[in-house]
């Protein structure tokens, strides 16, 4: 039996979270077309024959932080690097840029086994891959270079075998029926945040945090009552989020409800509120609360 932790690191938006979900076989971490969607490290668990991998999804690499949220995201990434037995650098099918070079420096310092996953190969012609692979292998001796498409589930078996080689012989680290280390309360807040990342433009998603304040799980009730608060930074953002006659916020609720119901296996009543918490991105205690 082999079991260990693999950290997936990389530039924002390269598809780390999509890859984690594809490998776990279920959605455990949220995905959006906007960069810096993931804010906390999160464990997804992959179980295979004689193999269990703890996949550490991490926030996209930030060269320079502007506030405490950015600092916290960078710390989450650093901790995942420390905890992991091996590292998967995830990149887009392009020659390495500044961010990839910085991350390779971190990998070198860690002295851990590292392999490269080139994701989104469905977006480029095959002929373009070879020069990209060559330029990466000149920079660092990756144990393997694996081209994949996470959305098309293409090449996933090669990723799993690269991971299997990189983790130690060990009893399973986690219960075999677990999919993630995060409590369901956190996952529900994340699903709501994912909708906001996908529904709203400009800076709104980046200034939004979601906290599930009430999760009434009583079995005697036909529906579970959930109260979630969406925090924003400014009054103008609150207006935009709610929309005319509350229509925009209502659409978020209608869209996310079935997915929450699927997650907890019971119909819900979802009460969504918007509150202003000025400069929350610089409040350590509040940021910590978004993790629970
Ligand atoms: N075409 C294509 N798109 C992909 C693939 N994998 C991910 N994407 C898209 O890339 C975007 C970013 O995906 P995420 O999984 O959120 O990326 P991430 O690296 O976790 O991003 P951060 O959390 O912001 O660092 C989404 O729109 C995904 O649908 C892929 O293999 N092919
Ligand atoms: Mg992510």
CA of 26 to the centre of ligand 1 (A): 15
DSSP β-ladder status, 224-232 and 209-216 = antiparallel
pLDDT of 76-85, one tens digit each?
A: 999 999 999 9
Q: What is the pLDDT of residue 286?
A: 97
Look at residue 280 and tell me whether its pLDDT is greater than 90: yes
Separation of alpha carbons 290 and 292, rounded Å: 6
CA of 119 to the centre of ligand 1 (A): 9
Q: Which residues surround ligand 2, an ion (CB under 5 A)?
A: 16-17, 37-38
Residue with CA closest to ligand 1 atom 21: 13
Residue with CA closest to ligand 1 atom 27: 33
Residue in the structure block whose two tokens are 């993931």:
38
In SS3 terms, 189-242 reads as HHHHHHHHHHHCCCCHHHHCEEEEEEEECCCCCCCEEEEEEEEECCHHHHHHHH
pLDDT of 169-223, one tens digit each?
A: 999 999 989 999 999 999 999 999 999 999 998 889 999 999 999 998 777 778 9
pLDDT of 30-67, one tens digit each?
A: 999 999 999 999 999 999 999 999 999 999 999 989 99
Residue with CA closest to ligand 1 atom 23: 38
Residue whose C-alpha is closest to residue 59's, from 185, 178, 190, 184: 190
Domain segments of the chain as ranges: 2-166, 184-289
Edge-first strand listing for the sheet containing 113-118: 42-48, 51-57, 2-10, 86-91, 113-118, 145-147
pTM for this prediction:
0.97
Separation of alpha carbons 58 and 74, rounded Å: 9
Residues with CB under 6 A from ligand 1: 12-18, 31-33, 35-38, 59-60, 119-120, 122-123, 149-151
Domain 2-166 has CATH 3.40.1180.10: no
List alpha helices for the chain, DSSP H: 16-24, 68-83, 98-110, 129-139, 156-166, 184-199, 235-242, 247-264, 284-289
pLDDT of 212-260, one tens digit each?
A: 999 987 777 789 999 999 999 999 999 999 999 999 999 999 999 999 9
What are the beta bridge partners of residue 180? 44
Separation of alpha carbons 95 and 48, rounded Å: 33
Are the CB atoms for 118 and 147 separated by under 8 Å? yes
DSSP β-ladder status, 145-147 and 113-118 = parallel
Q: What is the pLDDT of residue 9?
A: 98
CA of 16 to the centre of ligand 1 (A): 7
Three-state secondary-structure class, residue 72: helix
What's the CATH architecture for 184-289? 2-Layer Sandwich (3.30)
CA of 24 to the centre of ligand 2 (A): 14
Look at residue 89 and tell me whether its pLDDT is greater than 90: yes
Separation of alpha carbons 12 and 9, rounded Å: 9
The two three-digit tokens of residue 147, written as one number: 């081209």
pLDDT tier, 291 (very low <50, low <70, confident <90, very high otherwise) = confident
Are the CB atoms for 57 and 216 separated by under 8 Å? no
Q: What is the pLDDT of residue 192?
A: 98
pLDDT of 96-151, one tens digit each?
A: 999 999 999 999 999 999 999 999 999 999 999 999 999 999 999 999 999 999 99
Q: What is the pLDDT of residue 152?
A: 97
């Amino acid at each position: 039996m082999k079991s260990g932790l693999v950290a997936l690191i990389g530039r924002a938006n390269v598809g780390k979270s999509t890859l984690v979900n594809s490998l776990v076989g279920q959605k455990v971490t949220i995905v959006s077309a906007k960069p810096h969607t993931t804010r906390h490290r999160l464990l997804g668990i992959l179980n295979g024959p004689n193999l269990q991998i703890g996949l550490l999804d991490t926030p996209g690499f930030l060269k320079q932080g502007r506030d405490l949220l950015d600092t916290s995201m960078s710390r989450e990434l650093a901790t995942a690097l420390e905890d992991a037995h091996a590292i998967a650098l995830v990149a887009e099918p392009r020659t390495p840029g500044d961010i990839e070079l910085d991350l390779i420096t971190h990998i070198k310092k860690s002295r851990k086994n590292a392999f490269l996953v080139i994701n989104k190969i469905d977006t480029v012609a095959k002929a373009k891959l070879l020069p990209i692979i060559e330029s990466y292998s000149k920079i660092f001796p990756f144990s393997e270079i694996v081209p994949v498409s996470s959305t098309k589930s293409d090449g996933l078996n090669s990723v799993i075998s690269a991971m299997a080689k990189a983790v130690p012989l060990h009893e399973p680290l986690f219960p075999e029926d677990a999919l993630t280390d995060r409590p369901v309360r956190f996952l529900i807040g994340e699903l709501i945040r994912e909708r906001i990342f996908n529904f709203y433009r400009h800076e709104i998603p980046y200034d939004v945090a979601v906290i599930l304040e009430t999760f009434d799980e009583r079995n005697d009730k036909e529906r579970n009552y959930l109260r979630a608060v969406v925090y924003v930074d400014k009054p103008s953002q609150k207006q935009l989020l709610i929309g005319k006659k509350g229509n925009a916020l209502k659409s978020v609720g209608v869209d996310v409800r079935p997915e929450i119901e699927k997650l907890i296996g019971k119909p819900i009543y979802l009460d969504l509120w918007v509150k202003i918490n000025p400069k929350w991105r610089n409040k350590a205690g509040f940021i910590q609360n978004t993790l629970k």
